[in-house]
Each structure stands twice: as structure tokens, then as C-alpha cells.
Structure 1
Amino acid sequence: MPLRPLVAFTAAAALTVTLMPTPAQAKPGHRVPQVAGLGVSDLRELLAKRRVTSVQLVDAYLRRIEAYDKRGPALSAVIGVNGRAREEAARLDAERRSGRVRGPLHGIPIVIKDNFDTHDMPTTSGSVALKDLRPPDDAEQIRRLRKAGAIVLAKTNMHEYAMNIYTISSLGGQTRNPYDPARHPGGSSGGTGAAVAAAFAPVGMGSDTCGSIRIPAAHNNLVGLRPTMGLSSRDGVAPLAGTQDVAGPIGVSVRDVALVLDATAGYDPKDPVTRASLGKVPRGYEKGLRTGGLRGKRIGVFTDYFATATSDEQETTARVRAAVAQMGRLGARVVELGPQPEILTAAAGANRVRDEFERDLNAYLASSARGGPAWLAGLEAPYDQVTLADIAASGQVTPSVLSTLKAWVNSPALPNPSYEEKLRQRDLLQQRLNALMREKGLDAVVYPTITRPATVIGETQSYLNCRLSAFSGFPALSVPAGFTANGLPVGVELLGRPFAEPALLGMGYAYEQATRHRELPATTPGL
């Protein structure tokens, strides 16, 4: 049997806290816990029992970042650490001692993709050109997380301007996959994926325009949720395409993802699309998690998204087919859907990124950059604000992304006939997915999150499976489906109708609890 480069994690590990030597950031005599393998749910129990403090957790995660991000496997997942994290943790510890606990995220360190605005740290989109961009306030989801007691520990690398799935940027370099550092971690939220997989934090935030949450989740043996368009605010998140972008969690478990969603979902007047969430947000996503969440559900197998042309595609397909079979054993009715050419055609014609990027990025920069940095704003007209044209002119962007940025300056004005046709195809995709699920009585559609495991750095791979959710705005959940023979993670994706997150999380939880595929990478063991 081939050996996996993995370290097993079981629930029993959550009940044991090993105190480790003091890191450089800690006070003399201060001890830090062993956090590798623990999720939010584990940490909140330890905090509630006063077996650890939030300051100790911050120190433990900082120690792991120091050991593994630039040394050891040199993951390069982190762009910057929050210098006030210990101070914030101490304040939250004091609140806990006084009897105030804000909720399950109280005192929990998290990491966030560096396209979420933070008032106390730069927000760079991974770009040297924006290294001095300091937003005036937090992105709305970050504000809500901090209000819930989460500690922003660090900001993570991303594929620059969210332009691809390999997570390379001029500011952060190439992020590496902790399960095999010769491979990429997925993207564009690959820094968050690698950081959570390596236990730099138990959960993190990413954005998804076409797979950028779900692909890093699949490649790093994690759970990732692309929420319904309109469920959670995108305010303060640097855009790629406003009619496709969403922002959401990547974590070690379905429960942890649900806990983040509990803190972040809902209406935000600063993001008008969230009006659709009114009346659609349950009292608690975590409360709906049951081990019987698959019983009685009908799941349609989207066979068009199962690839078999190469050996690693065949292996991915086999793992996902095994996952579907397991869902059937857990009580789901599995329905083979067969070819869906009309859905594929609509999806192929609905990508709006090329059309919307310049418009939406410039609007974001007008708010978050506030005219600075002045040297950048002064490169191209108008000379008092930063635009895509300035960024392209600066040249301070990783080469593969820079060529795209230059080509997209002065994009055609919107609306135009080509763009209107893409919106029409989006509407058709929504209609056809709804019709398919209604006619077949489906609760979810299932397929591989991505058709191959992470490729070696420098080797491209297809990620067309991102389209159904991204181009329709429907929610999708990626959960671990096991490993290939050489230890590379595989993800299985469940797609639902708009605002079906409770059902998707319930199905994902039931499968996760029955299979326990979560295992730590051997490159980042406990310290």
C-alpha cells in the first residue's frame, strides 16, 4: 500500500492540550498549546473550560507560521501578520473572565485572504503595486467576524488580483501545497487554503469568482463554501466580477464553516444584492447539522463533470464516485443525470469576468484606496485616484497577471451586446438548473470539485467544474473525498438551489462524520 505523507487527526486529539515551549512573541514563563489538528469547535471547548487562553492560541499559531511559512516546507501562505493580534486576544480573554462571551468565535484566531479590507493592515490583492493601500475600514464580513470575537491573525497570499487558481503573486510569491510542496495549493484563495491546512489558523476567509474557495478546499483537504449570491456581503472585498463574486469560509470541518456563516450571513445595505437574503437566513446554520442529514435526500450525479482522459482524472473520478456511493449508504437516493448539453452550453457562455473587472475594480479602488498611494494614482489619468490603468502602468505585478491587466485596460463600456448575451446565458443557466432539480426532485447536484488533484507548480490544469455555481449564483459546498494513491486530496462538491445552505451543510456534515477524511499534512506536524 502506498504511503501517504499525512498525519492522522481524530476527535480524541481535541480533548488533549500539550503545552509547548514559549515562542518569541510570548511573555517569560508563558506556555502555548499544541493546536495542530484542532478546529474552531475544539478550540471553543478548550477556551470555555479555561484550559487555554486566546493569547496562548495566538502564540501557538504564530509559532507555526514562523516554523513553516518561510522555513521548513516554506509554504509562503502568509503575506502579513497582525501586529495587534496578541493585544486583541488579551482583551477578549479579559472579556471572557468577566463573563462576557460573544459566541462560538470568541477569541478564535482566523486568517483572511488579502483582498478583504482591514482597517489596521494593508489590503494588497497580492500586488506590490498596492502594498501601501490602507483601507479606511474593515470589509463587512470582517467587521462582523471581529464583532463575534474572532481575531484576525494574518492575511494570506492569493493569485494576484484573483486572476487564476495557482496562487502566485508579486508580493507573496508562490504559495505551496502542504500535502506536497512541489504542487500549487489551488486558488485564487490558495493562501487561506494552505494556511488552514497547515494549522496556521482553524478557519479562514476566501472569495470565489469561479472556484476560488472550493478549489483550495479540495486541494488542501478542507471544507469550502461558496454561498448563494446575496447571502453574505461583498462590501470591502476587492472584486474580479461583481455579478459572480462571493466571499465565504474555508475550514477544517463543516461545523466550523457553519459557525463562520452564522457570524457573517445576512443583509448589508452597503451591498444591495444581499437584500435577497432577507427572510432566508436561518437562526443558526450550526444548529441544523445532523449525522442523518443525507437520509431521504435526492442527489443528482452530474456526469458531464466526471473526467477520465488521464490517470489522475480517473483516480479523482473514482474517489468522487466512492463518495457518492457512501452518500447513498447514508440514506440518499442517487440519481444518474446523464448528459446535460443545454446546461453546459449556457455555462460556457456566461462568464462575465472580462467584461466587469475594470469597472468593478475601479469602483472598489475609489472607495478603499481613497486616491492613494499618490505615486500610483499619478501614473495615468485621472491623476487623483488609483485605477486599473495605473496598476498596469506601474509594472509591479507578477508577469502572467500583468499581461492580462494591460489587455483589460479600457475595456468596452457596459452594457454592450456581448455582455448582455452573457447575462442572458446566466439567466438560462439558472432556469435550466432549477428545471433539472425540480423535474428530478433533487436536493443537490454532485460532481468533483476539480477534475484533477493539484498539479506540479508550473503545470496548468482545467477548472471548468467551477462554472455551475459561479455563473449561476447558486451555492456549492466542497468537502474532502479522500486521497489519491500518492496522498493528494480530492474534493466532492454539492450544488444546491439558492439559499439551500442549511441542506448542503447538513448533507456535507453527514458525509464528513461518516468518512473522517480530514488528515494533517506531514510537512507541518505538531510543534
Structure 2
Amino acid sequence: MFVKKIARALLLASLVAVACNTPNTTESNFPLVEATIADIHAAMEKGEVSAEYLVEGYLRRIEAYDKQGPSINSIIIVNPEAMETARYLDSVYAASGKVGPLHGIPVIVKDNYDVKGMPTSNGTLALKSSYPPDDAFQIKRLREAGAIILAKSNLAEFASSGSFSVSSVLPGYSRNPYDTRRTTAGSSGGTGASIAASLAVVGLGTDTGSSIRGPSSHQALVGIRSTMGLTSRDGIVPLALTNDIGGPMARTVEDAVRVFDVIAGYDEADTVTRASVASKPDSYLPFLEGSTLNGKRVGVLHQLFPLADSDTSVYSLMTAALEDLREGGAILLDSVRIEDLDSLNESGTRIRQLKRDYNAYLASLGDSAAYKSLQEIIDSEKYHPYLEKRLIDAQSDVDVPEAHPDWQKNMALRQELRNRILGVMDSLELDALIYPSFTYPPRLIGDLNGPRGDTSGKLSPPTGFPAIAVPMGYSYGRYPAGFQLLGRPFSEGVLFEISHAYEQLTGHRRAPEGFDEIGSE
């Protein structure tokens, strides 16, 4: 009789699962490696996958691959509420369908985004137990769209390094899944490594100088740094608000666009986003429908990748990418040059904004903040030693960056760079400029002297113009490389179209070895 009761209970559970259109998580064969948002939602409609299945599967992948196996060391903390959220979303789906365009999609976010119910450390031991009072604007948008915050990823502490991702919160470096001896770049290297290894579907990073586009290029991902004013920085721990941007990192252009559609737009808490009201379309997905390279005019910025200053394999990949674009119908113009580019980038004193911006962030935490100022964090000595001089220098600078004697000079240089770029683009009727994200492969971890060849900080951060990183192949057949497309302000749609058309033509993205599907138990 007891056996019959168990059998009836199992049968009832099976029937409920079918009725709710949610599969038995131990029997589904839906692959998680390289899964896209569209793949997942199509499988949900067929009853082949549920949000619970996804969360369970990706958590198993994190357990198997992040601190064990290849040990890419990309995750700081897993969201303890992820499974509960998944089950809730499954119940809603059974009753009324998807709650939004990211229904059930597990997302990994860099640990400088505020996520209510989870600590936001910014990679800093002093803030390891700092719980923000609410979600960052972009996190709120993700939740409203049905996404599941699965985990928070490692970063270069204080988002301060474009060369590596190491913090005082998580021992050791984050490692590149394509070669774990090599760097992920920074500072969003933890997000880059985890998404490349399919520890979640998509991720969020931040970019002050290169930190979305750099890790994306080193790990065969698509990463978009938006126009300044199109995406909110509210609830993101700042480094320098004149440059800070948050945005998606994904394995495909389409997935990046699906996330971007959700997070972009006006936020009253970040006044720069007022510019988005008149500039953001309802959706960027239509730019992908029938995307084409035909007639797109792209300026090749050779001055950012001279052969003499480039690794020969990376240079060959860039040359091949240009030829692919040309064969796809794009019109490439090789005569492009930004006069005085180096001096426009390098003239003037570096003006540190961290003290003012960071103190304002700490104040936003209210009574829950264990530290009230940057000086208190410096005094605590709870941070990685490599940061000490940088933090002390920031603290010793002016309280108000705009009061710095070189502030106006710096702003004038930025405006002149904008004018030069727009002047060239207008005169040649260009849709975009193109250049490699790095002119060298990812460096070995610990190598801070070898050539890095990072171009990402030259154009987009000081101007506020959008730039997208796209995979273009693998140097020496192994190390991911990518190019960037830079556009006019609020021209993200055009950049997405060109990137998507190139991606569909070439299909360079491939999963790293050693991160296979995990069989059901």
C-alpha cells in the first residue's frame, strides 16, 4: 500500500508538471552551453524547460567549474533567493505566461551593482557585508522583465584595473576560460569569464575606460558601452561619473540587444538619462531583422593598430575581419584619421573623481553603511594592497572635481575630440569607425610588463560615444580577439545592425573547451 501511495504521488507530481508546462528538471536534455534567450523561451513554450531547471543547471555549472575543475574563479556570491524566484516565475508562467522579455533568464552581475538582499562589495573587503537598501536601476529593470539575478561576479577592486580582475573579497585572480593561465582583462573580467563559460545566459558589466569591451574581446563575447545618457548609473558603485557606464555582456549580438532593450532609458535618479527620452527607440530588435552590411560605410582607424605595434596574429585577424565586412557589402574607407588623437587623449592632468563620487555612493546606503567615507575605508586597510596609492591619491585630490584648475581644460579636450570624430564621420558619411579592442592576445596572469595593446579608452570613454565589441576570431587559433565599432551619439541601432550582420556572416563565437554539459543525476 505504501509503495502504491508513493507511485500515485509521483504520478500526480508528473501530471502537475505537465499541466504547468514545466519539465521534470532531472529528465530534460535542454543544453545550457551557449543557450540563448530565444532558445530558452522557445523551449519554455514547448514545455521542455523551466526557470527552475535553468537555475538548478547553472548553479551546478558554477559548482563544477568556477572553484573546481578549470576553476575560473569568477563568482563572488550566489543569490540565495534565485531558486525561489525561479519557482515563482514558473507558477506565473503556468497561470498567465511570461512576465516580460527576460522571463526566467539567469543573469550574472558584476559586484558593483546594488542588488537588494545581496551585499555589494565593489570587490572591497571593507564592504563585503554592505547590503544596499534597494536595487540599482538596471537591476530593477531586469527583475521587472522577469530575469533572475543568479550571482554576483568578481571584478578588479574598485573597478580600477583594465588589466586583470582581482579583489580583496575573493582570493586569487579570475581566469580566462579559453586559457586559465591568462587574464580575463578587467574590471568586468568576472562577468566575462562566467558568461563565456556558460555559467549563466547573460551578464552585466561596467565600463569606465574599457571594462565591458575589454573582457568581452578577451572572451569571445559581445559587449556594448552605450552613449552617455542612454543607460542609468543609479545604484552602480562609481569610479568616475564622467565616464562610468553599465551594460550587457553576452554570447550573441541578439542577446545583448534583448538585455539592452530592458535596461536602457530614462531614470529620474540619473539626470544624464534625460537625453534618452527623445533618442531611444521602443526597441532595438528591429535593427536585427534583415540586418545587412550592404552599403554600410565604415571608417578603418589604422592609427589605433599600426602593424609595428601589433601582434601579427591579432593583426591578421583584424585584416580578415575587414575583408569579411567588405565581401559582405560594407564600404570600407581606409583614409580615416583623427588628427592629434594622442595629444587629445593625453593632454591635461588626470582629474580624480573617486572621492566625491564614492562618498556620495556611501551616503546613499543610509544607516546600513559600515563606512561613511573613502578616508574611512583607507583607514580600515581592508582592500587589496595594489590599490593603496591609488586610493590615497584620490583622497588627497580636490573635494569637488569641477574645482580642479585643469577641469575646464580637460572638458575642452573632450569636446574637441568629439568634434574631430564627428567631423571625420560627417565628411566621409560614415556609419561607424572600426578598430581592434586589443592589438595583442590576453596576457599571462601576473604579466604587467608585456604589451597589452588596449585601444578601448581612446575614443568612447572621453567622448561619451557608443562602442560595441564583437568577436573576430582567435589569435594563434586559441585566444579570443574582437574589434570595436564606434558610432555617433545614440546610434546604437546602427552598431547593432552592423555587428549582427557580421556575426551572422562569420559565426566566430565558440565555447571554451573544458566546460561541457553536465549530465543529470
Q: How far apart in 1 are the matches of 2:476 and 2:373?
A: 47
Residue 485 (structure 1) aligned with residue 476 (structure 2): yes
Correspondence for 1:313 among 311, 314, 321: 311
Q: How far apart in 1 are the matches of 2:507 and 2:25?
A: 39
More divergent stretch after superposition (358-367 vs 249-258): 358-367
Correspondence for 1:51 among 48, 51, 70: 48
Residue 145 (structure 1) aligned with residue 133 (structure 2): no
Deviation at 1:43, TM superposition (A): 1.3
Residue 457 (structure 1) aligned with residue 445 (structure 2): yes
Q: Which runs of 5+ in 2 are unaligned?
A: 1-22
Residue 39 (structure 1) aligned with residue 6 (structure 2): no
Deviation at 1:44, TM superposition (A): 1.7
Question: Does the 8 Å contact 2:338/2:420 carry over to 1?
Answer: no
Change (3 A) 1:440 1:344: farther
Residue 323 (structure 1) aligned with residue 321 (structure 2): yes
Change (3 A) 1:176 1:203: same
TM-score, normalised on structure 2? 0.91
Q: How far apart in 2 are the matches of 1:351 and 1:93?
A: 54
Correspondence for 1:442 among 430, 433, 438: 430
Deviation at 1:272, TM superposition (A): 0.2
Correspondence for 1:108 among 105, 119, 139: 105
Q: Which amino acid in 1 is paired with 2:487?
A: G
Equivalent position of 1:433 in the other structure: 421
Equivalent position of 1:284 in the other structure: 283
Q: How far apart in 2 are the matches of 1:282 and 1:204?
A: 23
Question: Does the 8 Å contact 1:233/1:247 carry over to 2?
Answer: yes
Residue 346 (structure 1) aligned with residue 344 (structure 2): yes
Q: Which amino acid in 1 is paired with 2:296?
A: K
Q: Which amino acid in 1 is paired with 2:192?
A: G
Change (3 A) 1:188 1:350: farther
More divergent stretch after superposition (109-118 vs 463-472): 463-472
TM-score, normalised on structure 1? 0.90
Deviation at 1:372, TM superposition (A): 4.2
Deviation at 1:28, TM superposition (A): 9.4
Equivalent position of 1:416 in the other structure: 404
Correspondence for 1:171 among 169, 172, 175: 169
- What is the percent sequence identity of the aligned residues? 40
Change (3 A) 1:445 1:210: same
Deviation at 1:351, TM superposition (A): 8.2
Question: Does the 8 Å contact 1:205/1:250 carry over to 2?
Answer: yes
Q: Which amino acid in 2 is paired with 1:496?
A: G
CA displacement, residues 59-97 of structure 1 (integer Å, 9 cap, x when unaligned): 010000000100011111000000010100011111111
Residue 195 (structure 1) aligned with residue 194 (structure 2): yes
Question: Does the 8 Å contact 2:25/2:53 carry over to 1?
Answer: no
Deviation at 1:344, TM superposition (A): 3.1
Give the root-mean-square deviation of aligned CA atoms.
Answer: 1.8
Change (3 A) 1:243 1:444: same
Equivalent position of 1:214 in the other structure: 213
CA displacement, residues 233-260 of structure 1 (integer Å, 9 cap, x when unaligned): 1100011100101110000000000000
Q: Which amino acid in 2 is paired with 1:505?
A: F
Change (3 A) 1:291 1:452: farther
Task: State the structure with more CA Rg.
Answer: 2
CA displacement, residues 247-292 of structure 1 (integer Å, 9 cap, x when unaligned): 1000000000000011111111100000011121112111210454
Q: Which amino acid in 2 is paired with 1:326?
A: D
Correspondence for 1:86 among 83, 95, 102: 83
SS at match of 1:477: strand
Equivalent position of 1:367 in the other structure: 364
Equivalent position of 2:376 in the other structure: 390
Q: Which amino acid in 2 is paired with 1:305?
A: L
Q: How far apart in 1 are the matches of 2:407 and 2:313?
A: 38
Equivalent position of 1:232 in the other structure: 231
Q: How far apart in 1 are the matches of 2:345 and 2:495?
A: 22
Deviation at 1:132, TM superposition (A): 1.2
Change (3 A) 1:313 1:29: closer
Q: How far apart in 2 are the matches of 1:337 and 1:208?
A: 29
Change (3 A) 1:329 1:292: farther
More divergent stretch after superposition (103-112 vs 152-161): 103-112
Question: Does the 8 Å contact 1:298/1:332 carry over to 2?
Answer: yes
SS at match of 1:341: coil
Equivalent position of 1:507 in the other structure: 498
CA displacement, residues 148-194 of structure 1 (integer Å, 9 cap, x when unaligned): 00000000000000111200111123100000000011110000000
Q: Which runs of 5+ in 1 are unaligned?
A: 1-25, 378-385
SS at match of 2:203: strand
CA displacement, residues 464-487 of structure 1 (integer Å, 9 cap, x when unaligned): 432201110000010000001140
Deviation at 1:112, TM superposition (A): 0.3
Q: How far apart in 2 are the matches of 1:270 and 1:435?
A: 33
Deviation at 1:108, TM superposition (A): 0.5
Deviation at 1:307, TM superposition (A): 3.9
Number of matched pairs: 489
Question: Does the 8 Å contact 2:78/2:152 carry over to 1?
Answer: yes
More divergent stretch after superposition (335-344 vs 195-204): 335-344
More divergent stretch after superposition (334-343 vs 184-193): 334-343
Question: Does the 8 Å contact 1:355/1:419 carry over to 2?
Answer: no
Deviation at 1:407, TM superposition (A): 2.3
Equivalent position of 1:383 in the other structure: none
SS at match of 1:493: strand
Question: Does the 8 Å contact 2:209/2:457 carry over to 1?
Answer: yes
Equivalent position of 1:381 in the other structure: none
